[in-house]
Amino acid sequence: MNEAFKALSETRRAILVFLKWNGGATTTEAAAHLGISDEGARQHLVLLERRGWVARRDVRPATPRSGRPTARYELSDAGESLFPRRYDELAMTLLDFIVERHGREALRDVLARIADRRVESWTGRLQGRSLEERVEALRDLYEEDDAFASVERRDGKYLLIERNCPFSRVAAAHPELCGATHATLTRLLGVRVRRLERMHAGDGRCVFEILPDEPVDAAAMDVALD
């Protein structure tokens, strides 16, 4: 973590980590997680918002008669920068250069080759394992860059959750990068993988749903432009 993060109080650091882990939270959710009062949590969140590290978003109820909008707090771009990143400026420059000189189809080809190399380098680590073991192994690979990555089991499916994508800013400009990741996961697992949430679309995290009962022909997979 950077020096600005380390300089915060333990409670405020805990709030930022919780927002990162949860993809945002209401005052009540933050208070319950920290074991403090709603008012105490609100004061911390307001201060973090004033410093520019947290952004408030009003979420309207599902039905008009359900009451007033609920305030939800999420990390701002500045708040996201408090967590470790890798060379996003360099990556952005390189991808922009490819598109400007050779077009988006060339970018697609480059990312497809990167996906191929990832599959080749990871296949040996996953070979001979069950689907559950492969999912856990992939989670471990993600954790090398994202300490907030996790796997959940829900209704017979797996959820691979990524909360600190090092290239979220790049993916916002070049969503093909996420397509390459999606294709890589599908090819390595050999089953259908569906993206439920996108960090660069404002969801606060990336969530991949892994469907064990829907095998795919991994060899025929292409980079999806999602």
**Which CATH number is 94's domain given?**
3.30.1380.20
- Lookup: tokens for 80: 């996201």
CA 44/CA 41 separation, integer angstroms: 5
Asked, for residue 202, whether it belongs to a domain, the answer is yes
- Supply φ then ψ for residue 205, to 5 degrees: -165, 165
Asked, for residue 226, whether it belongs to a domain, the answer is no
Domain limit, last residue, from 25, 50, 80: 80
Query: Which DSSP symbol is given to 36?
Result: S
Query: Which DSSP symbol is given to 193?
Result: E
**pLDDT tens track of the chain, all 226 residues?**
567 787 888 899 899 989 988 889 999 999 999 999 999 999 999 999 999 999 998 877 666 665 678 889 999 988 888 876 655 676 777 788 788 888 888 888 888 888 888 888 888 878 888 999 888 888 776 655 556 778 899 889 999 888 877 677 777 788 887 888 888 888 889 899 998 998 877 788 889 999 999 998 766 655 444 5
Domain limit, last residue, from 58, 80, 102: 80
Whether the model clears a pTM of 0.85, i.e. scores above it, the answer is: no
Answer yes or no: do 72 and 99 share one domain.
Answer: no
Answer yes or no: do 93 and 8 share one domain.
Answer: no
The boundaries of the domain holding residue 24 are 3-80
Rounded to 5 degrees, what angle do the CA atoms 107, 113, 117 make?
145
Answer yes or no: do 203 and 98 share one domain.
Answer: yes
Neighbours of 154 (CB within 10 A): 8
